[in-house]
Structure 1
Amino acid sequence: MWELLVQPMEFPFMQHALAAAVISSVVCAMLSCWLVLMGWSLMGEAVAHSILPGIVLAHIFGVPMALGAFVFGMLAVLLIGGISGGSTLKHDTSIGVVFTSLFALGLVLVSRTPSETHLTHILFGNVLGISQQDLLQTAGLGLATVAVLLTLRHSFVLLAFDKVHAHTIGLSTGALSVLLLALLALTTVTSLQTLGILLVVAMLVVPGATALLLCRRFGPMLAVAASSAAASAVIGVYASYWLDISTGGSIVLAQSGQFALAYLFAPVKGMVPRLRRRRQRPTSERGEPARPIHKLLDVKDPA
């Protein structure tokens, strides 16, 4: 058993992969708590898909990939806000229009641009090929994101639960929303090589949803989401090594498995405990069973 854990870590590329996967997953998980509470899960998907043309253009002009991805992530946010505010279209409709259009633009640019980077690496990540420089970049961006989230934690929580009250006490809800969306774009860039622009969507939603089923307060929710994501990263990296399967897919499947367990067995919100409590409630609490019609009418049973 010990050999199963130690042997993969003898290779530097596995050490880099594990560190990058844990960092990316934890950052995504912490942000996912706010996205789930604010109903912004679809926004995470929009930003993740919209950065593809930024990645390709960054390659064409020889600028850092992270810069191009971040610029197009913010462009997507601004376009969605502009279309929603300047028309009668609903917010989710604006999201659908923007992210599908930008993603399609990215696919066209990929098809017309020769590159050594395969499209599958962009879409699904290539964590096993991460270099030490990439790892340092991931760690730096992740640390910056977590620092901002924790520093402004109380303001972001108030924004998520009661935007009107936040505005009343003098908080700039518009600026906080834009900052949170900027952190979303930055987090997507951080997780790009680890999970890819498709699978990162799962880690921006599932850890927060898992923690929400298990916790009643936001502080523990953050801790549970981060711990759950870190465990998924470790399980996914080891599974990809021993089973020769996709690393990003393994990480997401491990996280989805934890969500399934929480959905079924969470002490308060789990389906199994809720069914058990419903069966154990006294009849008076459940309501009396329906009485036959002949008793309600006070007549003899026709039989």
Structure 2
Amino acid sequence: MEFSLDTALLPFQFPFMQNAFLIAAIVAVPTALLSCFLVLKGWALMGDAISHAVLPGIVLAYMLGFPLILGAFGAGMFTAVATGYLAGNSRVKQDTVMGVVFSGMFGLGIVLYVAVKPDTHLDHILFGNMLGVGAADLWQAGVISLLVAGVLALKWRDFLLHGFDPAQARASGLAVGWLHYGLLALISLTIVATLTAAGLILAVGLLIAPGAIAFLLVRRFSAMLWVSVLVCMGSMLAGIYASFYLDSAPAPTVILVLTGLFLLAFLRRQLRIRQLARRTG
């Protein structure tokens, strides 16, 4: 294919690609903002646990005729609350509890899916169907993203203090319980918003990589939020664009772009550390 302006603009001429670009821009904001808090709190496994654990909720909602969003959100919150309760009332550490709970929930979801055999293909649930996004998916993702981004924009300082020093947050009079479970609720909602675009398995990449990249690039948390959003949105748009010419699935391509950027940010950080060491040495 000879490169030209028409060739470069070709992906934007198809409605399914336009919808893919649009939902990428929509979900990039809440996933990027949340990733900063997950990285700060060391909650990468929590995002992974909730993203896997919503599968049984989706299947149960399908069985009962409820909207899938309700099942996914309910399962996500159940996983978060159960993990916190088990970790707080046993000698087992939280990361171990999360591993047990999310693997159990994911296994339950697979068993229910095989038993029910819903119309939605399992690959679309696990890996997303970005090229099959419809108007309803765009509206759902848009409303959730606006809600999550709005809450984080208004309360980011409270969430920051809670993530950095929970004891200080409690001493300052903040409702740490509401902040804790509120953040978990925002994670569950965001996973629901990214369900169509990235699927359950790849959603965790969007919830971790942007914040990790921004953490390596900047020092101030406010700057970290902006850099994370720009990195996530740029990576999603670039990944979708590249997938058109590579004939690959958009969501995994986006994750590969984010992984590449993380490695570059890591190498940049290492080079700067060595340069500073040489100057001081």
- TM-score range relative to shorter protein: over 0.9
Write out aligned runs for 1:170-185 (5 A): 170-185=173-188
> In structure 2, what is the equivalent of residue 22 of structure 1?
25
Residues 1:264 and 2:264 aligned together: no
Which of 244, 247, 257 in structure 2 is aligned with 1:244?
Answer: 247
> In structure 2, what is the equivalent of residue 37 of structure 1?
40
What residue identity is the alignment partner of 1:278?
Answer: A
Residues 1:144 and 2:143 aligned together: no
Residues 1:223 and 2:226 aligned together: yes
Aligned equivalents of 1:26 and 1:261: distance in 2? Answer: 22
> In structure 2, what is the equivalent of residue 297 of structure 1?
none
Deviation at 1:63, TM superposition (A): 1.4
What residue identity is the alignment partner of 1:113?
Answer: V
SS of the residue corresponding to residue 115 of structure 1 reads: coil
Deviation at 1:164, TM superposition (A): 1.3
Unaligned runs of 5+ in 2: none
The size of the alignment, in residue pairs, is 278
Which of 89, 92, 96 in structure 2 is aligned with 1:93?
Answer: 96
Unaligned runs of 5+ in 1: 283-303
Task: Compute the RMSD of aligned alpha carbons.
Answer: 1.1
Aligned equivalents of 2:55 and 2:7: distance in 1? Answer: 37
User: Which whole-Å deviations, capped at 9, do the CAs of 1:236-260 have from their partners, x for residues lacking one?
Assistant: 1111211110111011111111111
Which of 50, 53, 58 in structure 2 is aligned with 1:55?
Answer: 58
Q: Which moved further from structure 2: 180-189 or 271-280?
A: 271-280
Aligned equivalents of 1:262 and 1:114: distance in 2? Answer: 43
What residue identity is the alignment partner of 1:104?
Answer: G
> In structure 2, what is the equivalent of residue 292 of structure 1?
none
State percent identity of aligned pairs.
42
Deviation at 1:25, TM superposition (A): 2.5
> In structure 2, what is the equivalent of residue 9 of structure 1?
12
Deviation at 1:6, TM superposition (A): 2.1
Aligned equivalents of 2:70 and 2:31: distance in 1? Answer: 19
What residue identity is the alignment partner of 1:274?
Answer: I
> In structure 1, what is the equivalent of residue 111 of structure 2?
108
Aligned equivalents of 1:200 and 1:38: distance in 2? Answer: 18
Aligned equivalents of 1:47 and 1:162: distance in 2? Answer: 23
Q: Which moved further from structure 2: 64-73 or 160-169?
A: 160-169
Deviation at 1:118, TM superposition (A): 1.3
TM (norm. structure 1) is 0.89
User: Which whole-Å deviations, capped at 9, do the CAs of 1:119-151 have from their partners, x for residues lacking one?
Assistant: 111111001001011111111111110000111
Residues 1:122 and 2:125 aligned together: yes
Deviation at 1:172, TM superposition (A): 1.1
Deviation at 1:64, TM superposition (A): 1.1
SS of the residue corresponding to residue 51 of structure 1 reads: helix
Deviation at 1:281, TM superposition (A): 3.1
1:262–1:139 distance in 2 versus 1, CA, 3 Å: same
Aligned equivalents of 1:68 and 1:10: distance in 2? Answer: 35
Deviation at 1:264, TM superposition (A): 0.8
Find the structure with the greater CA-based Rg: 1
Higher helix share: 2
> In structure 1, what is the equivalent of residue 203 of structure 2?
200
What residue identity is the alignment partner of 1:170?
Answer: G
> In structure 1, what is the equivalent of residue 273 of structure 2?
274
What residue identity is the alignment partner of 1:27?
Answer: P
Deviation at 1:18, TM superposition (A): 0.7
What residue identity is the alignment partner of 2:97?
Answer: S
Aligned equivalents of 1:23 and 1:42: distance in 2? Answer: 24
What residue identity is the alignment partner of 1:23?
Answer: I
Deviation at 1:276, TM superposition (A): 2.6
